[in-house]
Amino acid sequence: MTKKKAEADKLPVGRPSTYTEAMADKICDELANGRALHQFCGKDGFPVERVVYQWLEKNPEFAHRYARAREEQADRYAAEIVTIADTATDANLARLKMDARKWAASKIAPKKYGDKTLTELTGADGGAIKTEATSKIDWRELDPDQRETLRQALLAAKGGK
């Protein structure tokens, strides 16, 4: 292998990353204003989506800011629902737009906008759940005091007979 070939193998493949704080701010602003990545990435000087996802993996601070922008995006979608309802002239179109925003908000921020579910366990006829615990004891391995304690416990459990 020639020296030139070996040096070429060490160079990164593809274009170098153009991450800047200014670009990160622009991306987060677009998201917070309700736009999806696919709507602006690769256009008007924005990087392609794949590059944004690479930045998210490599830069924890950007990932944090991105997550916050997505929460703001969910808040915006929720607020838009009221505006759509107040200004709608076509009920079916309004319902479609509101449902889309409700769905998106619930997926972006499920703790805040997702459906809350409560699971309740009950026993027979809605009563308490009956639990039983069992354990095996080889009474032959117990000393006389432990045998007597066990005998008393079994009698008490049986009803004192």
pLDDT at residue 102, rounded to an integer: 94
Tell me, rounded to whole angstroms, the distance of Cα 77 from its chain centroid.
18
2/47 Cα distance (integer angstroms) = 35
152/27 Cα distance (integer angstroms) = 74
155/13 Cα distance (integer angstroms) = 80
- Which ranges in the chain belong to alpha helices (H)? 3-10, 21-32, 37-40, 49-58, 60-87, 91-108, 110-113, 144-158
Q: How far apart are the first and last CA of the chain?
A: 93
pTM beyond 0.75, yes or no: no
pLDDT at residue 9, rounded to an integer: 57
Q: Half-sphere exposure of 62 toward its Cβ, with a 13 Å CA cutoff?
A: 18
CB of 101 within 8 A of CB of 78? yes
pLDDT at residue 115, rounded to an integer: 86
Q: Which residues of the chain have pLDDT under 70?
A: 1-17, 160-161
Instruction: Give, in degrees to the nearest 5, the angle at Cα 115 between 113 and 117.
Output: 140
